Amino acid sequence: MASIALKSFIGLRQASAEKPHFTIQAKPISLNPSIHRRLQVNAAKTSPKVTGRNLRVAVVGGGPAGGSAAETLAKGGIETFLIERKMDNCKPCGGAIPLCMVGEFDLPLDIIDRRVTKMKMISPSNVAVDIGQTLKPHEYIGMVRREVLDQYLRNRASENGATVINGLFLKMEKPGDGEAPYVLHYTEYDGKVGGAGVKKSLEVDAVIGADGANSRVAKSIDAGDYEYAIAFQERIKIPDDKMVYYENLAEMYVGDDVSPDFYGWVFPKCDHVAVGTGTVTHKGDIKKFQLATRNRAKDKILGGKILRVEAHPIPEHPRPRRLAGRVALVGDAAGYVTKCSGEGIYFAAKSGRMCAEAIVEGSENGKRMVNEADLRKYLEKWDKTYWPTYKVLDVLQKVFYRSNPAREAFVEMCGDEYVQKMTFDSYLYKRVVPGNPWEDLKLAVNTIGSLVRANALRREMEKLNV
């Protein structure tokens, strides 16, 4: 994507010092002394108007969060700048997206490599459970390549008026007073391999940090650290006859051999499979876990050729601080990756859009300055909408990923049709689905039974190891 040439320094004109207006309306005084006089105070929008230009916002990071944020801002009348260093970035990501994302973000079907309608969950003892029997004919999990999805979202932001800059964000100077601009320093590249780049600066009214788990924007606002996982993935080209097996099928492997606290996966792409794993607690052993994942799937990927090796950190929980002044974090930079499933693409795109919507609304389509209170509305809406999802998956990971016997119980539970229906409905449409009380009771009993059997198995295994 061609970068857009800018002057070496882009400044802002001062916002007008418009004074806030207040109106006081007094209700008629009752002759009855028992009724107190009431005053109603209506405060108009107090943020100053931006004169001679529209509100200016920089989005740092061009993944699903940044692309979605930039598009929403540009459509909403905001002068938008999107800064991304790697325009062909291939993040080590399983690439699964829920069905609702296709319609909600108006994604073309040709960027979806595979429509997964079947999954195999494979236990530590290699017991495989088929998942997907409750899916309706039109339902599927989309499999995408991040380099394709990310570029599409950036292009769409550009088509809607955002300025896309091929650049590396370096640092940010905070404003000296409440309405002064933020100054972003970055190195702009012309797309040529090996180019040194040109140092430039940009003044903006607000910043959205969408620059991933190692976010420099987060460091600029002292957002705090969080625990993170290392994801390791290999893209493997397998023979055509073996690729048929993975045409609409994804596999998930659980066990101490593939990860002590996560899972291994084989996900189909356009002409290859992505084989990977991740861990929080044993990062130094990630290559050993990757080898084990390949070994578990070896008969199905035999004869494959490794095309690319990828590794990247994945946050395990939200940062302590996601907002400071007129700077907000979204996507991986904010820590929006779910426990248990490790899903982040939809939540990245959704958080980017929600944050941008809060800025558009607070600025009255770019006509007024925004403040922290405007951006905080995004966080309040986000937490209210998605906290239950994150909490449920956090509990599931703590219960079922703690030992091999617990994982055996988890896989056994996944064979239940009611569990599959609840799981897919929640995943595909991004909501915590209310269950049937009777089925929930049966599920609770079955889960307890599975865990009891798992603990009994663990004790027997411990005896054998003595």
Which one, of 430, 357, 355, 348, lies nearest residue 63 by Cα? 348
The predicted structure's pLDDT at residue 21? 39
Fold of 50-94+145-225+319-399: FAD/NAD(P)-binding domain (3.50.50)
What per-residue confidence (pLDDT) applies to 38? 37
Q: Which pLDDT belongs to residue 263?
A: 94
pLDDT 10s digits, 259-271: 999 999 999 999 9
Return the residue matching tokens 């794993």: 277
Average pLDDT across the chain, whole number: 85
For 372-398, the DSSP string reads HHHHHHHHHHHHHHHHHHHHHHHHHHH
> CA-to-CA distance for 90 and 2, rounded, in angstroms?
19
Q: Can you list the positions of beta strands (E) in 242-286?
A: 249-255, 259-268, 273-279
Element (H, E) at 421: helix 417-429
343 vs 192, which has greater pLDDT?
Answer: 343
Q: Where are the alpha helices (DSSP H) in 185-267?
A: 216-220, 240-243
Average pLDDT rounded to a whole number, residues 311-331: 94
Please give the Cα distance from 389 to 144 (Å, whole number): 23
3-state secondary structure 26-63: ECCCCCCCCCCCCEEEEECCCCCECCCCCCEEEEECCC
Amino acid in the structure at residue 219? K
Percent of the chain with pLDDT over 70: 81
pLDDT digits (tens, 9 = 90+) for 159-194: 999 999 999 999 999 998 878 999 999 999 976 656
The length of the chain, given as a count of residues: 466
Q: pLDDT grade, residue 30 (50/70/90)?
A: very low
pLDDT in tens, 281-318: 999 999 999 999 999 999 999 999 999 999 989 898 89
Residues 6+ apart with CB under 8 A from 360: 72, 73, 76, 77, 78, 366
Which is more confident, 209 or 409?
209
The more confidently predicted of residues 418 and 58 is 58
E strand or H helix that includes residue 202: strand 198-204
Q: Two tokens at 132? A: 């997907």
Residue 270's alpha-carbon distances to 92, 110, 148, 384, in angstroms, are 16, 11, 11, 37
Please tell me whether residue 259 adopts helix, strand or coil conformation.
strand
Q: Which two tokens stand for residue 356?
A: 């941008």
Q: What is the pLDDT of residues 115-170, one digit of tens each?
A: 999 999 999 999 999 999 899 999 999 999 999 999 999 999 999 999 999 999 99
Q: 64-75 and 146-159 helices cross at what angle (nearest 10)?
A: 10
Write down the domain spans for the chain.
50-94+145-225+319-399, 400-465
